[in-house]
Structure 1
Amino acid sequence: MSTLPNLRNAVRTLTADTFEEVALQVFHYQAVHAPIYRQYLSHLRIRPAQVNRLSLVPFLPIGFFKHHQVVTGNPNIQTVFESSGTTGTQTSRHLVADLGWYDEISTEIFEKSYGSLSDFHLLALLPSYLERNNSSLVYMVQQFIAKTQSPVSGFFLHNVDELLATLKKLVQQPDGRKVILWGVTFALLDLAESKNDLSFLKELPELMVMETGGMKGRRREMLREEVHAELTAAFGVKNIHSEYGMTELLSQSYSNGDGIFETSRTMRILLRDINDPFSVTDSPQRGMRYGGINVVDLGNLDSCSFIETQDLGRFVGDTSYQFEVIGRFDNSDVRGCNLLI
């Protein structure tokens, strides 16, 4: 039986060729040492020893994070991340045993996608998340801001004037760094539709706008194409980048445009039949191109690495390494961090 330190080292040295092998090691470890997951497998009458392919691994419905402590082993919990949810809904709680591990994984994923954080100024417009003190997104972006080592990187709650002044300063005093404006979708739309003159942003050729989804009931839900068209026009950029992540995951995926996400080294997407949650495929070559999104997150060694989300998605192209989020199941809660339909 693998041990947690051995699994952590295996994840650190993970490659695309070894992903399934390591994922199965993690499964067999969590099937024994994760009480809630072990009970779930028992109710399904699953014999873990007979699970020898990734597509045969049962995925834990994400709702378990709302009503149970989903942990593997008996870890010392450093923090609890909580989903934003909406008024009157039960929120998810992710018990995190190693913040340094989360920091390591999220930084590696971002820098592999975009380059060193020290090459950026990061301006974060995340008002709804900053109003809470237990957001995984705020924690991650806070670590990214520190790694930029930039005197102008920071959070902007409602102080749009200060944000615009900072952007103008970066236009007037360029230093070769790229600029990320990272925002929750409704806040980016509010800025785009404000009476502020944003035309000067066209003079920031290295500006990157990153939306992290979420209307939080502040605005009507919009098609992704509508949102991106409005934001590209307002901010003078060619495309809008997106982040796919959630409270229950430690890994993320990024899109550099058109809502097409690339899976990261520690994450893999599988699709399940919308009428049969136990019919799962890990490849578009096997016929199913649309379905419910199941996530393998090998960062979740201390909780559960196999999560059945309430997102609907599709594979893009001939591999499972690119995917698109196309909606949510009708009976699922509206998530604070969800990506746009």
Structure 2
Amino acid sequence: MELQNNKSIAEIRAALRNRIIDLEPADFEDLALKIFRYQAEYNPVYHQYINYLNIDPRRIKSLTKIPFLPIQFFKNHTIRTGEPPVASAVFQSSGTTGQNTSHHHLFDAPLYKAVSHRIFQQNYSDLNRFHILALLPSYLERNNSSLVYMMQHFIDESGSEFSGFYLNNIDEMLQRLKYLSQNPDGRRILLLGVTFALLDLAESSYDLSFLKDMNQLTVMDTGGMKGRRQELLREEVHDILTENFSVKNIHSEYGMTELLSQGYSHGSGLFAPGYTMRILLRDINDPFSVFDHNINKTKTGGVNVIDLANLDSCSFIETQDLGRFGDKPGTFYIMGRFDNSDIRGCNLMVL
């Protein structure tokens, strides 16, 4: 993409960033194509990948024709677009010992916080209407988790003295929950946790009977056994959690180290993408055959993610997840992972 009207790279980026902040649904495709051309020109790794495919970015006119960068590139390359400043954080995916993990450099923390805040607000309500209790032991044991970074922002924005992280202080967390059950203040309570930690608590000897009276409780699963427990079907996990936490549905969050936007499920594993995110599927035998919801909503395919918040890295990611579309346009299910992909710490469970 040539510099438009002699604008600098910084000026082009600033204009794109402003559009991301104020994005309306009807403008998604136009902005995505503009970001594609920007990244095709000014992201060295993505530029080289597109050249290798012998693709002319100027001829790309629809989202399904955009080449998606395989997510494995985040393991061996610094994925950056334009001339961003020094990264304010470097997120790293979880993995077993000896695995080469993904790294995602965060160059614009205010953008990440603004986007994640708006996505949560659109799915639930403003953060200051929640008490947020985060049960994320495997993430808190390292200092480079994007989920912990986002949840720290959410906890700060909630302004609640009861909000916080919990690692080995389960007794304190349950005391806070019990107090809130006896002294409701109009706020909802979000108990968010990694799958194995929620299961450990649900099947523990702790008395959770007081939760039956907490109509304001939302339990959200971020996925992942992290090698701590045997893998279970999503239905099995959610049956255990709904019964022991006395809630009707288990909510879920879909996100990963390489993405700055999130999707949320209010139950049954059906996700709605954030306003800066769109899910496309690719044929499992042909990664360059990409289709949207209008083609075949019952077909299972590899998940390709458009994440406009990845303005400074790459917004077009070919993940190793398998998915299918939901009945409502834009919605999706995560079905599992490709058999030959690495075991990862991202947020999904096999259906």
Deviation, 1:87, is 1.7
CA deviations on 1:226-279 (whole Å, 9 max, x unpaired) are: 000000000000000000000000000000000000111100000000000000
1:207 corresponds to which of 217, 231, 234: 217
2:347 counterpart residue number: 338
Deviation, 1:74, is 2.3
1:252 corresponds to which of 262, 276, 279: 262
Deviation, 1:13, is 2.4
- Please give the secondary structure, in 2, of the residue aligned with 1:17: helix
1:51 counterpart residue number: 60
* Residue 117, structure 1, aligned to residue 127, structure 2: yes
Number of aligned residue pairs: 340
1:64 counterpart residue number: 73
Query: 2: CA distance between counterparts of 1:246 and 1:62?
Result: 11
Deviation, 1:69, is 0.4
Aligned-residue sequence identity (percent) comes to 59
* Residue 94, structure 1, aligned to residue 104, structure 2: yes
Deviation, 1:117, is 0.7
8 Å Cα contact 1:180/1:210 also seen in 2: yes
1:13 counterpart residue number: 22
Please identify, of 281-290 and 11-20, the stretch whose mean Cα deviation from structure 2 is larger. 281-290
* Residue 240, structure 1, aligned to residue 250, structure 2: yes
- Please give the secondary structure, in 2, of the residue aligned with 1:91: coil
Root-mean-square deviation over aligned CA pairs: 1.1
Query: 1: CA distance between counterparts of 2:222 and 2:128?
Result: 21
- Please give the secondary structure, in 1, of the residue aligned with 2:228: coil
TM alignment of 1:74-89, pairs within 5 A: 74-76=83-85, 77-89=87-99
1:161 counterpart residue number: 171
8 Å Cα contact 2:20/2:276 also seen in 1: yes
Query: 1: CA distance between counterparts of 2:296 and 2:49?
Result: 27
CA deviations on 1:49-69 (whole Å, 9 max, x unpaired) are: 111111000000000000000
Runs of 4 or more, structure 1, over 6 Å off, are none
TM alignment of 1:98-109, pairs within 5 A: 98-109=108-119
Structure 2 unpaired stretches of 5+: 5-11
1:195 corresponds to which of 198, 205, 225: 205
8 Å Cα contact 2:297/2:327 also seen in 1: no
Deviation, 1:312, is 0.1
- Please give the secondary structure, in 2, of the residue aligned with 1:14: coil
Query: 1: CA distance between counterparts of 2:296 and 2:145?
Result: 37
Deviation, 1:287, is 6.7
TM alignment of 1:115-154, pairs within 5 A: 115-154=125-164
Query: 2: CA distance between counterparts of 1:229 and 1:190?
Result: 14
8 Å Cα contact 2:297/2:325 also seen in 1: no
Query: 2: CA distance between counterparts of 1:337 and 1:13?
Result: 28
Query: 1: CA distance between counterparts of 2:300 and 2:30?
Result: 25
* CA 1:216–1:158: 2 relative to 1, 3 Å: same
Please identify, of 277-286 and 295-304, the stretch whose mean Cα deviation from structure 2 is larger. 277-286
8 Å Cα contact 1:86/1:336 also seen in 2: no
Q: What TM-score do the two structures reach when normalised by structure 2?
A: 0.95
8 Å Cα contact 1:120/1:180 also seen in 2: yes
Q: Which amino acid aligns with 1:22?
A: L
* Residue 296, structure 1, aligned to residue 306, structure 2: yes
Query: 2: CA distance between counterparts of 1:211 and 1:85?
Result: 19
Please identify, of 89-98 and 279-288, the stretch whose mean Cα deviation from structure 2 is larger. 279-288
CA deviations on 1:144-202 (whole Å, 9 max, x unpaired) are: 00111101100010111111111111112211111010000000000000011101011
2:9 counterpart residue number: none
Q: Which amino acid aligns with 2:29?
A: E
Please identify, of 212-221 and 1-10, the stretch whose mean Cα deviation from structure 2 is larger. 1-10
Q: Which amino acid aligns with 1:40?
A: Y
Q: Which amino acid aligns with 1:271?
A: L
8 Å Cα contact 2:21/2:114 also seen in 1: no
8 Å Cα contact 1:281/1:288 also seen in 2: no
Please identify, of 282-291 and 152-161, the stretch whose mean Cα deviation from structure 2 is larger. 282-291
- Please give the secondary structure, in 2, of the residue aligned with 1:18: helix
Q: Which amino acid aligns with 1:236?
A: S
Q: Which amino acid aligns with 1:307?
A: I
Query: 1: CA distance between counterparts of 2:298 and 2:230?
Result: 31
Deviation, 1:286, is 4.9
- Please give the secondary structure, in 2, of the residue aligned with 1:31: helix
Deviation, 1:289, is 2.7
